[in-house]
Chain A
Amino acid sequence: DAKTTQPPSMDCAEGRAANLPCNHSTISGNEYVYWYRQIHSQGPQYIIHGLKNNETNEMASLIITEDRKSSTLILPHATLRDTAVYYCIVRVAGDYGGSQGNLIFGKGTKLSVKP
């Protein structure tokens, strides 16, 4: 089962920041938080990931709370093309092998960016 909780849907006005929350209260100390998105039926697209510190790249920013029990993905200036399902995933630690490579996808948040 997914170790994260996300709202099923959110709306955002075009040009505004989209802030997508995620709860992961059972996260372990060496588990990373990953964010992916999926536009229609395309392959999931990697956005960003982090362990403890906040992270930023050309696509988004990731804010992780100090206790690591929740995080927020920020798309600074949402466009219509950012409409997608966004998945917050805690990468499961385990024996070296498949459990480290696997991503367990939950239901995600359907973000609708509106003109």
Chain B
Amino acid sequence: EAQVTQNPRYLITVTGKKLTVTCSQNMNHEYMSWYRQDPGLGLRQIYYSMNVEVTDKGDVPEGYKVSRKEKRNFPLILESPSPNQTSLYFCASSFGGLNSPLHFGNGTRLTVT
């Protein structure tokens, strides 16, 4: 089944403890992206990647890192999480371009205390 898989689904951590949220897709998509969703602010793009070893900042990149060493994986790294990064995170992928739908994972709910 074609899908975008995120892990973990839920994560509770403390301020400053490095964490990684994994994202994997099995559709051979070139384009991958991370979003965060907050009440009243909607979905906002954090980082995106056009292909392997090609990444760029989205609208809210501060406090996050990403890497794209393989086509299928696009992990989101929080080196020193803070409470304002408590949010619902979504990974998404597509073939790229305006005519290619973006497919989303089921989300990771992160709480930083």
Using a CB–CB cutoff of 8 Å, the interface residues on chain A facing chain B are 30-32, 34, 41-46, 49, 51, 91, 93, 97-98, 100-103, 105-107
20 A-B pairs within 8 Å (CB atoms) are namely: A32-B98, A41-B109, A43-B90, A43-B92, A43-B105, A43-B107, A44-B90, A44-B92, A46-B103, A49-B99, A98-B33, A98-B45, A98-B50, A101-B33, A101-B48, A101-B94, A101-B96, A102-B48, A102-B58, A107-B42
Contacts A41-B109, A97-B56, A98-B58 given; does A106 touch B42 at CB 8 Å: yes
B contacts, CB < 8 Å to A: 4, 31, 33, 37, 42-43, 45, 48, 50, 56, 58, 88, 90, 92, 94, 96-99, 101-107, 109
- The B interface, classified by DSSP as helix, strand, loop or mixed, is strand
Q: How many A-B residue pairs have CB under 8 A?
A: 61
